[in-house]
Structure 1
Amino acid sequence: MTLIRIGGPAALICAATYIVGFVLLLSVLAPLGYGTGQIDPAAVVAFTAENAGLMIAWHSIIYVLNALALAVLVVALHARLTIVTPAWAETTRAIGLIWAALVLGAGMIANVTVEETVRLSATDPEAAVALWRVLHAVELGLGGGNEIAGGVWILGVSLAAWGARVLPRPVSGLGVLVGASGLLTVLPPLGDATGAIFGLGAILWFLGTGFALLRGSNPPH
């Protein structure tokens, strides 16, 4: 299997991690306020103390696994784009790898947050809540609360792919909209809504990109 085709499964894995994230947000984690912007820190710490394994598994899927698959996808798309647009290929690879690193860092911090809050909650629940607040803010800053890096990368890749015709036009067009919504997450009044649009749109974009790479059609020279 060529590097470009390896990007196909990587993209599908990225889509799957987003789906897992949304499913848990809308089910098990919904009573804690996840996905509404009104998270109850005390309830989260209490839930985490009883379900540490679930939280670590969730973070490992939505952050760690996603970041590793994303890094492979970034390199695969770079290989495809570099044939016809080398400058864009290099630029998007740099931005994409930065995004992957940020997501991986967010996952590592999220898992450490679980470990430390569980340990501290046994003796000082209030301190555990305070610690969770601080570390959760760091997690959100890196990869969970805004989508600037992801928005720029998907937007850049999609614009390059549109011009070079290395992805189907509908996929590239969707990527432009998804990337733009990611950039809008920096605006507080729009953060939650555009974040949801980015996440749901990214699932479709990853799926479309994944299937296109699996087909392995060669870009025009």
Structure 2
Amino acid sequence: MSNLQKTGGIAALIEAIIYVSAFVFFGAFWSSPGGGDAAQQFAFLAENKTVLSIVNLVMYVLFGIVLAVLVLALHERLKKGAPTLSSLAAVFGVVWVGLVIASGMIANIGLGAAIDLATTEPKQAMTMWRTVYTVVEGLGGGNEVVGGLWVLLISIAALQSQALPKAFNVVGLFVGSVGVLTVYPADVLTEIFGVSQIVWFSWLGVTLLKSNET
């Protein structure tokens, strides 16, 4: 139990680091030629395919793998004081893991297929890429309902069981609620959820590591 909580704390901190890295990468280093034609855009994607593939692996696949560890750690921590809510939260956590990992794999496979098609049919390739992007956004990029429900249920279960600090749980209620609200397609909600999750994951990681020491 103690080792699992320590591992969960490390996992939570890794999730926060992945979030920060994604914001920094797309905010400071990634500048695709949005105004160019299909051929120019795919030339840019082909030139940066390796970098983008690695980013997708980290941002989605690695995030999902680490999240699985955290879901298990939190379930173990909360199941004694709030068994039903903890189990329900774990279900949504596992679903979120699957959606996030699937998003990363679809993004990378779709990227490669679109780049290959672009050598002969750039317009069709652009249609394919936009379709892939829409699927990825729907599964885990722009829609955070499942992740929001997981955070929300974790927070309610932790309040019931008093297994995590009350102030942290109040923040979790806000983070989870914003995640659920991303069912409405507004970029600002997704951004608020992402930024607030950095705070939530960081706080959770420190809390789990400190409780493990105690």
Q: TM-score, normalised by structure 2?
A: 0.92
Q: Is the 8 A contact 1:158 1:172 kept in 2?
A: yes
Structure 2 residue aligned with 1:124: 121
Structure 2 distance, partners of 1:120, 1:195, is: 31
Question: Does residue 194 of structure 2 align to residue 199 of structure 1?
Answer: yes
State the 1:210 CA deviation.
Answer: 0.8
State the 1:155 CA deviation.
Answer: 0.7
- Measured on the aligned residues, the alpha-carbon RMSD in Å equals 2.1
Aligned pairs (5 A) from 1:70-85: 70-85=67-82
Question: Does residue 166 of structure 2 align to residue 151 of structure 1?
Answer: no
* One-letter code aligned to 1:66: F
* One-letter code aligned to 1:186: V
State the 1:28 CA deviation.
Answer: 2.2
CA pair 145-44 structure 1, distance change in 2 beyond 3 A: farther
Structure 2 distance, partners of 1:135, 1:98, is: 20
Structure 2 distance, partners of 1:196, 1:79, is: 30
Q: TM-score, normalised by structure 1?
A: 0.89
Q: Is the 8 A contact 1:70 1:100 kept in 2?
A: yes
Structure 2 distance, partners of 1:145, 1:41, is: 25
* One-letter code aligned to 1:160: A
Q: Is the 8 A contact 1:45 1:132 kept in 2?
A: no
Structure 1 distance, partners of 2:104, 2:15, is: 14
State the 1:40 CA deviation.
Answer: 7.8
Structure 2 residue aligned with 1:16: 17
Segments ≥4 residues shifted beyond 4 Å: 30-33
CA pair 113-44 structure 1, distance change in 2 beyond 3 A: farther
Q: Is the 8 A contact 1:49 1:121 kept in 2?
A: no
Cα deviation per residue 1:42-88 (whole Å; 9 max; x = unaligned)? 46533211100111011011100100011100000000001211111
* One-letter code aligned to 2:28: S
Q: State percent identity of aligned pairs.
A: 39
Task: Give the number of aligned pairs.
Answer: 212
* One-letter code aligned to 2:208: L
Question: Structure 1 regions of 5+ residues with no counterpart?
Answer: 34-38
CA pair 183-40 structure 1, distance change in 2 beyond 3 A: farther
Aligned pairs (5 A) from 1:202-213: 202-213=197-208
